[in-house]
Amino acid sequence: MMKKLYFVSILLLSLMTLMTFSCVDDNNAPTEPDYDSKPPQQIISVEQAVSMYNAQNEIKTKVINPALQKTYNDAHFEDTVFSWFSLDEMRQYINYIDAIQEENPTEKVSRYSGVFW
C-alpha cells in the first residue's frame, strides 16, 4: 500500500510539473533586435549631441528661462530639461507624421523633427 501511494504521489507531482512548464507560451517571448540594420543617416555623434545640448542650455539660461519667469511671474521658474516618451508614444508620433505626409504629398515632412522642410 505504501509503495502504491508513493508511486501515485510521484506520478501526480511529475504530471503537475509537466503541465506547469508545458503551458509556457514561447510566441510572446521577446525577439532579438536586428543588429544588422544600419543606423539612420541623421544619427549624430555623442560629441555633437553634447555640443548641441550645451548650446541649447546656454540659450535656455540666457533667453528662455528669463522670458518664462516674466511670463509666469515666477522668479524661480525653469524650463523642462528632459522628457521621456515610451516606445508606443514614439510609434504613435511617427504614425501621425506619416499621416500628415500622406495628406500633404507635395510637402516634405521630417520624421525626425516633425516640421515641414
CB 110 within 8 A of CB 96: no
- In this prediction, the residues of the chain whose per-residue pLDDT falls under 50 are 113-117
Q: What is the pLDDT of residue 94?
A: 86
Q: Per the structure block, which three cell numbers stand in for 10?
A: 510521484
Q: What is the pLDDT of residue 107?
A: 77
Q: What is the pLDDT of residue 103?
A: 85
Task: Give dist(CA 94, CA 87) in Å, integer.
Answer: 11
- How many Å from the N-terminal Cα to the C-terminal Cα in the chain? 85
Answering whether pTM is above 0.75, one says no
Domain boundaries of the chain, sorted by first residue: 43-81, 84-117
Q: What is the pLDDT of residue 46?
A: 87
